[in-house]
Amino acid sequence: MSMQSVTHAVNVRLGEDERSIVVLDQTLLPNETKYLTLTDRDAMWEAIYKLRVRGAPCIGIFAAYAMAVLAKGIEAADFDGFYAEYSALSQYLGSSRPTAVNLACMLRRMDGVVLAHRESPRQELLDALTAEAKAIHAEDMEMCRKISEYGLSLLKDGDGVITHCNAGPLATSRYGTAQGPFYLAKEKGMNIHVYVDETRPLLQGARLTSYELTRAGVPCTLICDNMASIVMKQGKVQAVFFGCDRIARNGDVANKIGSSGLAVLAHYYGIPVYSLGPSTTIDFHCPSGDDIPIEERPHSEIRELYYEKPMALPEVECYNPAFDVTDHSLLSGIVTERGIVRAPFEENFRKLFPEAMP
Ligand code: MRU
C-alpha cells in the first residue's frame, strides 16, 4: 500500500454525470470498502446522520456537492420558486448534524452563489454551484497540507503523540488535519509514534484512524480510551493532537466526545494539547463553547452498535453526547492553515483572520 493511496484517497466525489455523489461508506470500514452513489435528498441526509460521510470538513464538502446535485432537480420556472425549493433542501440537509460548523458554513456559501445568480440563466447558476463545490473541495486539500506542515513543526524526531477520533484523509479531503503531520513525518523520514484512542462509542479511532495510519506505514498503537492516562504517565507521548468540529471565538474547541477528558489529563501530566483544523471550522460568530450545540445520538450506539450482542439491557438508561468542549485554557495552540494560534485566542484570531472576525 503506497502512502499516497491513503493520503490522497477520494472519499467524496461527484458522479460522472454530475447528478449524483459517490461516497465511501465509512461505517463499514475497516472490514468492507464500499462506495455508495447518492442521488436523492433523503439518502444524502441519512449519509451524514449515520456517519457514512463524517468529519467536519468532509461533511462540508459533501454538503456542497449535495446542493449542486439537488439544485439540478428543481423544476421551478422563476428564480423565487427555485430559491424557495433550494432553501428548503438546504435547511433539510443542515438539520442532519448540529455541531460541526462546516456543514452550515458550506451551505451558507452555496446559498451565496445562488443569490449571486438571481438574474442569470438557470444553467449558468447550476454550473456555478458545481464549480463552487469543486472549489470548496480543492481549498480543503490546500488547507490540510498547510495545517499538516504547521502541525509537524511542533514535533521532533522520536516523539509520541496521542490522538482521538479520526481527523485524517477520511474526515477531510487529503492528509487530514490532526493526522496530517504524521503522514508528513513519515514522508520526511521522521520517526513519530501515534497512540490512537479507540474513541467510544463509534470507534472512529479503531476503525478509521488506526486503519489509515497502518495502511500508510505510520507506526501506531491502538489503545482503549481509558488507557490514555497510563500512556501519558509512562512518558510515551509528548503531545496531544486532535481535530475540531467547531471552534468558538475565544478558542474553546468542540470535538469528538472524550477530547476534553484527554486535554484535562494532559494538563495534569504537563503535556501540550493542540487542536488542528481549517478556518472553515472556526465559528467567528460563536462567543464561547457554551454557545456550541452538542449533538446527542441514539442510546443504541452505546448499548449494541459494533458489539456482536447487546452489552446492556435494552431498558438501561444511557447518555450519548457526540461531542464535548475543551476549554481554551487547556490548549497550547490551535493549528490553522494560516499558522498556529496561541492564547489570547480571540485577539490572535483577529490578527490572523481580520476579515472573518465580527
Ligand atoms: O462524529 P464524527 O466522526 O463526524 O466526529 C469527527 C470529529 O470529531 C473529528 O475529530 C473532527 O470532525 C475533525 S475532522 C478533521
305 phi and psi, to 5 degrees? -60, 135
Q: Name the H helices within 153-258.
A: 180-187, 204, 210-216, 228-233
Closest residue CA from atom 8 of ligand 1: 256
Residue 324's alpha-carbon distances to 29, 171, 262, 268, in angstroms, are: 24, 18, 11, 19
User: Percentage of residues in the chain with pLDDT exceeding 90?
Assistant: 99
Q: Which of 255, 274, 292, 325 to mutate to test the pocket of ligand 1 (most atoms within 8 A of CB)?
A: 255
Q: Of the listed 17, 111, 127, 245, which one is catalytic?
A: 245
Residue 54 CA: nearest ligand 1 atom is 4
Distance 33 CA to ligand 1 centre (A): 20
CATH superfamily of 146-352: Translation initiation factor eif-2b; domain 2 (3.40.50.10470)
Closest by Cα among 135, 146, 341, 131 to 248: 341
Residue 179 CA: nearest ligand 1 atom is 15
Q: Which of 204, 276, 335 to mutate to test the pocket of ligand 1 (most atoms within 8 A of CB)?
A: 204
- Do 224 and 251 contact (CB within 8 A), yes or no? no
Kindly give, in sequence order, each residue whose CB lies less than 8 Å from that of residue 31, ignoring residues fewer than 6 positions away. none
The answer for 75, left when phi > 0, alpha when psi is -120 to 50, beta otherwise, is alpha
Q: Which of 245, 262, 324 to mutate to test the pocket of ligand 1 (most atoms within 8 A of CB)?
A: 245
Task: Ligand 1: list residues with CB < 6 Å.
Answer: 51, 54-57, 100, 165, 167, 171-172, 176-177, 204, 242-245, 255-256, 322
Query: In the 8-state DSSP scheme, what is residue 321?
Result: B
Which pLDDT tens digits describe the chain residue by residue (358 residues)? 889 999 999 999 999 999 999 999 999 999 999 999 999 999 999 999 999 999 999 999 999 999 999 999 999 999 999 999 999 999 999 999 999 999 999 999 999 999 999 999 999 999 999 999 999 999 999 999 999 999 999 999 999 999 999 999 999 999 999 999 999 999 999 999 999 999 999 999 999 999 999 999 999 999 999 999 999 999 999 999 999 999 999 999 999 999 999 999 999 999 999 999 999 999 999 999 999 999 999 999 999 999 999 999 999 999 999 999 999 999 999 999 999 999 999 999 999 999 999 9
Alpha-carbon distance of 342 to 274, in angstroms, equals 10
Residue 164 CA: nearest ligand 1 atom is 10
Exposure letters 17-45 (e unless 16+ CB within 10 A, then b): ebebbbbbbbbebeeeeeeeebeebebbb
Q: Residue 157 catalytic?
A: no
The answer regarding whether domain 12-143 maps to CATH 1.20.120.420 reads yes
Q: In the chain, which segments carry CATH 1.20.120.420?
A: 12-143
In the chain, count of helices (H) and strands (E)? 13, 14
Q: Name the H helices within the chain.
A: 3-7, 41-49, 56-71, 79-94, 101-116, 122-152, 180-187, 204, 210-216, 228-233, 259-269, 300-303, 345-352
Distance 323 CA to ligand 1 centre (A): 9
> Residue 21 has which C-alpha cell?
455523489
Exposure letters 145-163 (e unless 16+ CB within 10 A, then b): bbbbebbbebbeeebbbbb
Distance 280 CA to ligand 1 centre (A): 14
Residue 295's alpha-carbon distances to 48, 214, 248, in angstroms, are: 13, 30, 16
> Residue 339 has which C-alpha cell?
499558522
Exposure letters 339-352 (e unless 16+ CB within 10 A, then b): bbbeeebbebbeeb
